Each structure stands twice: as C-alpha cells, then as structure tokens.
Amino acid sequence: MDMPIHDILAAAVLRILRPLARVLLSHGMAYGTFAELARRAFADEGFVLAARGGKRATVSSVSALTGMTRKEISRLRESDVPVSAGASQRYNRAIRVISGWINDADFHDASGQPAALPLEGAEASFAELTRRYSGDVPAAAMLAILEASANVRVQDGMALLVERAYIPMATSTEKINILGRDVGELVYTIGHNLEAPPADRYFQRKVSNASIGASAAEEFRALSNRKSQELLEEYNAWLNQHQEDDTTVGAESPRYVAVGIYYIDLPEQEQLP
C-alpha cells in the first residue's frame, strides 16, 4: 500500500532538517529561534501563495493557509529580521575578481594562464583587476579576503592565484551565508520540478553508489573535484561573455541563473534514510 503524501513529505522534511539541525546546534542556535524563523518562512510564503492568480492576500487567508493565528501572522508581518547583505556581497565580488583573473586576457601570462600580478602601479596589476571586477571594494580589502580564503598568495610583491575555487575559510559568517543561499536554491529547484510540466523543469541530477571502498572514494573525490571545477569554469566563462549591464544597448531585464555541484561522502551508519 502506498504511503500517504503527507507521510512521504514528513520523511523528506526530516532528511532536510537533520543535517540542518546539526549545523544550527553546532553554532549555538536554540530551537526557539529556529521555530520563530520557521513561522516567519511559513507566513512569508503564505502571502506569496495566497496571492497567486491575482488574488488579494490577506492576513485571514494566510492564517487559513498556514494554520497560524491572525494575530501571529500580523505580528510576523510587522516585524523585521535583520539580514546582513555584507557576506553575500563579499562572496559575489570575490568570485568576480577570481573569474576576471581566470578569463580576462589582460591578466594572463604568455601561456594564457592567470598571471602573477604586481599589487599596484602597472596596467595589469591586482589593483586594476580589483577596480575592474569588484565594484567599490578597495584592492587592499579584496587582497585580504582572498589571502584569508587561501586563493591568493603574495610573494616578492606579486599576487599569485593559487586556488581558483573561492571558499571563505576564515569567516564563518560567509560560510553560513553560502549554506542559506545554496541549499535554498536547491530546494527551490526541486520544488519547481515537483510542479512544473516536463518541458519547463530545471536540470537536476545526481550520481551515487552506496558500496564504494575508502580508497576508491578518495580517488573519485579527486576526480569529481577536478572535473567539476573544469565544468564550472566553462560555465562561468560563458556567463561572463553574455553578461549585460546598464550600458548594454537593448539590454533585457536581467535574470539570476546558477548551476551548483556538490560532493558528499558518508559512512554506512550515517547515510540519510
């Protein structure tokens, strides 16, 4: 006999929440704070869903949809949760600088690879790279960010790109910001695919095997890291070539697009049900 849809949904939610709860507990978030955030998420999405089809979303309609009281919906609607955009902006600008270094021929050496750049004073300097790709972030601040993340090393007055994938290693707030954004995007994609007709579904695939030995797992991890990085750099180069800004003649309304790749390695006793 098939399981009721709500039982399947409950099991799916637990698969999502267990690793999330591990992160939240390890960073000191109490259940009460999480519960308040969950209420806010339900209220916010309740207004979005209630307004579908041009309908007017009201506190009463959202209360009926979510099961929360009208008083609670009103309270959540009127209060704000402080969300800092600083970490997100830092993450995006660091990626843009690294991407420019990788893809812009002005910052390449004779072999077409990212060149060692003088910190300043030259046409092809780290200061010029930062000015071109980081917006208003000063070169010294961007250099500190990329050194902290182990992407850049300074040697004899030259900036060397030593790691192409930006993963903020020194600032836990930036890592947590990635958790919220990337997991949110994956859940959004899966939710879209649950409702969309086949022709409109987004690409969402994975490969897995539960019977891989430890040595083979290490070999596959190295293979997947290399292949995934190559693919992401190819995607990134294409996106840079098709990026529009306010000065582009006939520019279309901009859209956000992204492709994410992840790797997971779990011992048998920790595999998610």
pLDDT tens track for 246-265: 655 666 778 899 999 999 99
Whether residue 26 lies inside any domain: the answer is yes
Query: How many domains would you assign to the chain?
Result: 2
Cα separations in angstroms, 54 against 27, 38, 63, 65? 41, 26, 18, 16
* Co-location of 71 and 19 in the same domain: yes
- Is there a domain that residue 123 lies in? yes
Nearest-angstrom CA–CA distance, 122 and 143: 16
Domain assignment present for residue 222? The answer is no
Residue 161, strand partner residues = 152
Residue with tokens 């060397």: 160
Report how far Cα 81 is from the mean position of its chain's Cα atoms: 20
Q: Which pLDDT belongs to residue 1?
A: 47
CA 233 and chain centroid, separation: 16
Q: Is residue 243 part of a domain?
A: no
Burial 148-167 (b: 16+ CB within 10 A, else e): ebebbeeeeeebebeeeebe
The model's pTM: 0.68
Pair 93, 69 in one domain: no
Give the domain-ending residue among 99, 133, 161. 161
- State which amino acid sits at residue 5: I
The verdict on residue 32 lying in a domain is: yes
- Summarised one tens digit per residue, pLDDT across range 143-160 is 998 998 889 999 999 999
**3-class DSSP state for residue 17?**
helix
Three-state DSSP class for 159? strand
In a domain, residue 264? The reply is: no
Distance (Å, rounded) from C-alpha 257 to C-alpha 112? 28
In degrees and rounded to multiples of 5, residue 26 shows phi and psi of -70, -15
Q: What is the mean pLDDT of the chain?
A: 86
Q: Look up the domain containing 64 and give its range.
A: 1-82
Is 250 contained in some domain?
A: no
pLDDT at residue 250, rounded to an integer: 64
Domain boundary among 114, 144, 161: 161
Among 113, 128, 161, which residue terminates a domain?
Answer: 161
pLDDT the model gives residue 30: 83
Torsion region of 28: left, alpha or beta (phi above 0 gives left; psi -120 to 50 gives alpha)? left
Based on the domain organization, do 6 and 78 belong to the same domain? yes
Q: Which residues of the chain have pLDDT under 50?
A: 1, 83
- Report how far apart, in Å, the C-alpha atoms of 181 and of each of 11, 55, 187 are: 23, 29, 10
